[in-house]
Structure 1
Amino acid sequence: MEQIVGLTPTLIHLKKPHPLVQWCDLSNIVFSDPFFNQTIARCLREDPSRLRFQTQLDALADLYEINPGLKPTGFIFHISKCGSTLVSQNLSKLPQNLVISEPAPMNSILITDLVGISEEDRIKWLKLLVSALGQQRRETETNYFIKFKSWNIRKLSLIKKAFPDVKWVFVYRNPVEVMVSVLKAPAEWMDLKSNNVTDDPIWTDLKNTPGICESITGFSASEIEQMTSEEYCARMLASFCQIALHNADHNTLMLNYNQLPEATWSSVLDFFQVNFSEEEKERMRDTSQLYSKDPTKKRVFVNDSEAKQKQCSKEVQEMTNQWLDELYKNLELYRLGLYSQQT
């Protein structure tokens, strides 16, 4: 299987009985786009021949034996719509950092329970996928970060079993502002409520698979159907916060949106023990002046917290009060070193 050396897994199709891995030639490619899928799309537009072939999942193990990737330095989890992309984009500006942001194959691996793969094997495949995505593409790359999708934190226990010593950040924001943002521009997990189909292979491959709702959200399809969009959104966001608080330890940094962007070149780099120069710090400052999710790098960032507070509906306020306010308070207490499980 030496032909897979230098290739990157870009999709995993969870087809029974054998999941398939799609490989792409991304040698010498810098992951500078806000999201992994944007980098893949850009590369294939420029050169469609980069898309190679599909293999069974075992090819991940073959690649590891031939050319293991960088060991992960840190993980970034988040509540959604909270500045986590700014964190990953700023980290990617340092030449010593390889940053993979919300890779599609990760989503598939995290729900491989749907195709009957045991927890032991899921941990093994998770380790192998992280290694495959962490192939060193530049000699300068010594640090390796993965930014996960918001719902991925629901699989944190599995991720921690695979990588018990890897440090992780949880980025969060005032829940009213997050609720307003998610309801206006829904995350993929909201599509399980609306029955829309996104371009994520999880939804296209497994939209009607029994158990997909429970695996991703913790709710059955019928439970989701009975909730309003506001309730479902609030309860999902609450689950992210609860899991972050329950699993937080000495390897965890809680990061509030209102600490950004300054924290990305101070407390975040210090937490991950990443060295940087004043010139690199200035580069991060320049990046922070632009909207982090815009791949064109042309939109100027404008803080919209006040505008989102004004857009808050009565239903959003009620659901926030019921499901999120106490959790937000506890996240703040943890960040300040004042939280205990008895709080």
Structure 2
Amino acid sequence: MIPTDSVALDQFRAAVCAEPALEQRLGGIVEMMEFIGVVAAEAAARGITLDPIVVERTLSPDPLGLDRFRLEPITGDAMPGPAWLPAAIVEAPTGPAIDWFYLGASGLSGPFFEDSIRRGRSLPISRFIRHRTPLVTLPESVAAAGAVPDGLIFHLSRCGSTLVAQMLAALPGAVVVSEPQPFDWVLQYAHNATGQPIAQRLALIRAMAAVLGRHTIGGHGFVIKLDSWHTRALPLLAQAFPQTRWIFLYRDPLEIMASQFRQRGFQTIRGGIGQSVFGIDEAGLSEEEYCACLLERTCAPILDAINGPSGMLINYAELPGAVEHRILPHFGIALNPAARPALAEATARDAKAPYTTFAPDTDAKRREASAAVRAAVARYLDAPYRRLEMQRTGG
């Protein structure tokens, strides 16, 4: 009896998952028609008849990742092989689940984790094979010896954190995960789920970090660049990773505010992170005051924790030299002298637009700061900035 199209597809997908060499071959194909031809040929070689038209139907484009909003079923309890990374936490009929995307050997090369997700989702293999696993099974799926971050990057936004992440990512063998959405989801869940035992919440944080760093090669460095609002989760992260060092990047607040009012980051928009994470009461606050208040509350957990040995303050003015001379030693990551040209090349590019040359704009930002921005900075941010500078310089 000839298997139905659905059964044949499932048979071949199972074969791909069981054969790393076959998965790697398919994962390296970018063009859809080439992919369809190889799938049909490889299936036939295994005694599976696949109609190319049926294969093509499974590859309907989803460039925006809209599939993650559908209540699709779980595909299995165990996480997929090492070529796959979590793309997002989604709702499934049985609870939160992880959607995975194919990374292969290409690495996390974009300025942000989301850039790599878009690249991975565009590959035919990510549309042909869908992995969706229960979030609750992740801790037991990750080996006890899973990757632990060497460093965590906290930041006040618009102060060089992307540059630092790109410089670290330029080091051969280093794994830098920049603002990964799945880690954000887990941190917010762990912070809010106070009814759950702390051990379970910490295990979930550790497991998500481990699977995001599963391409880490020992000794080369594994760093997570966090979102700016994750300073609120610093106590949880310190419990989850007691041996991991962290840095906090900040900048003259007038320059940060001027940058935000050139183009607002979504976290500074009313009704979002400010309320849900920091509990800001918006009533009576101007846009400038709301943004400055948010930045003030972002600083507060850092100021509470900076006296310990794990943290280090880095002012934007110290970059890029601080990466080699302060940040790498603090994270315990050795710098091979041969890698210095790669660091220098990363500093020459605009961190958020890698194909353009970096051009400093500090003076322009200070000139364009409005009177309302200056007043908000004076009210909310001058004092925290002075405290950060005193702690950093020992003054």
Provide TM-score, normalisation by structure 2. Answer: 0.74
2:357 to 300, 306, 320: 300
Q: Is the 8 A contact 2:274 2:294 kept in 1?
A: no
Q: Is the 8 A contact 1:124 1:162 kept in 2?
A: yes
Query: What one-letter code is carried by the residue in structure 2 that aligns with 1:136?
Result: H
Distance 1:304 1:268 in 2: 24
Deviation at 1:43, TM superposition (A): 1.9
2:231 to 150, 153, 172: 153
Query: What one-letter code is carried by the residue in structure 2 that aligns with 1:319?
Result: A
Unaligned runs of 5+ in 1: 196-211, 339-343
> Counterparts of 1:184-333 in structure 2 under 5 Å?
184-193=262-271, 214-219=275-280, 223-224=281-282, 226-248=284-306, 249-294=308-353, 297-333=354-390
Residues 69 and 24 of structure 1: CA distance in aligned 2, closer, same or farther (over 3 Å): farther
Query: What one-letter code is carried by the residue in structure 1 that aligns with 2:256?
Result: V
Distance 1:258 1:28 in 2: 35
CA offsets per residue over residues 249-280 of structure 1, 9 Å max, x none?
Answer: 21111000011111112211121122123331
Residue equivalent to 2:119: 42
Residue equivalent to 1:85: 162
Residues 96 and 237 of structure 1: CA distance in aligned 2, closer, same or farther (over 3 Å): same
Q: Is the 8 A contact 1:4 1:63 kept in 2?
A: no
Residue equivalent to 2:50: none
Is 1:127 aligned to residue 220 of structure 2?
no
Query: What one-letter code is carried by the residue in structure 2 that aligns with 1:62?
Result: E
Deviation at 1:225, TM superposition (A): 5.1
Q: Secondary structure at the match of 1:236?
A: helix
Distance 2:79 2:329 in 1: 39
Q: Secondary structure at the match of 2:152?
A: strand
Deviation at 1:48, TM superposition (A): 5.3
Is 1:136 aligned to residue 205 of structure 2?
no
Distance 2:324 2:113 in 1: 22
Distance 2:161 2:124 in 1: 30
Query: What one-letter code is carried by the residue in structure 2 that aligns with 1:182?
Result: Q
Distance 2:203 2:93 in 1: 19
Q: Secondary structure at the match of 2:264?
A: coil
Deviation at 1:305, TM superposition (A): 0.6
Query: What one-letter code is carried by the residue in structure 1 that aligns with 2:209?
Result: V
Deviation at 1:238, TM superposition (A): 0.7
Q: Is the 8 A contact 1:25 1:52 kept in 2?
A: no
Residue equivalent to 1:199: none
Q: Is the 8 A contact 2:288 2:372 kept in 1?
A: yes
Deviation at 1:167, TM superposition (A): 0.3
Q: Is the 8 A contact 2:268 2:294 kept in 1?
A: no
Q: Is the 8 A contact 1:20 1:55 kept in 2?
A: yes
Q: Root-mean-square deviation (CA), in Å?
A: 2.3
Residues 225 and 10 of structure 1: CA distance in aligned 2, closer, same or farther (over 3 Å): farther
Q: Is the 8 A contact 1:16 1:115 kept in 2?
A: no
Query: What one-letter code is carried by the residue in structure 2 that aligns with 1:179?
Result: M
Residues 170 and 226 of structure 1: CA distance in aligned 2, closer, same or farther (over 3 Å): same
CA offsets per residue over residues 287-321 of structure 1, 9 Å max, x none?
Answer: 10110111xx2211111110000111111101100
Unaligned runs of 5+ in 2: 1-76
Q: Secondary structure at the match of 1:61?
A: helix
Residues 17 and 155 of structure 1: CA distance in aligned 2, closer, same or farther (over 3 Å): farther
Distance 1:164 1:141 in 2: 18
Provide TM-score, normalisation by structure 1. Answer: 0.85
Distance 2:393 2:194 in 1: 42
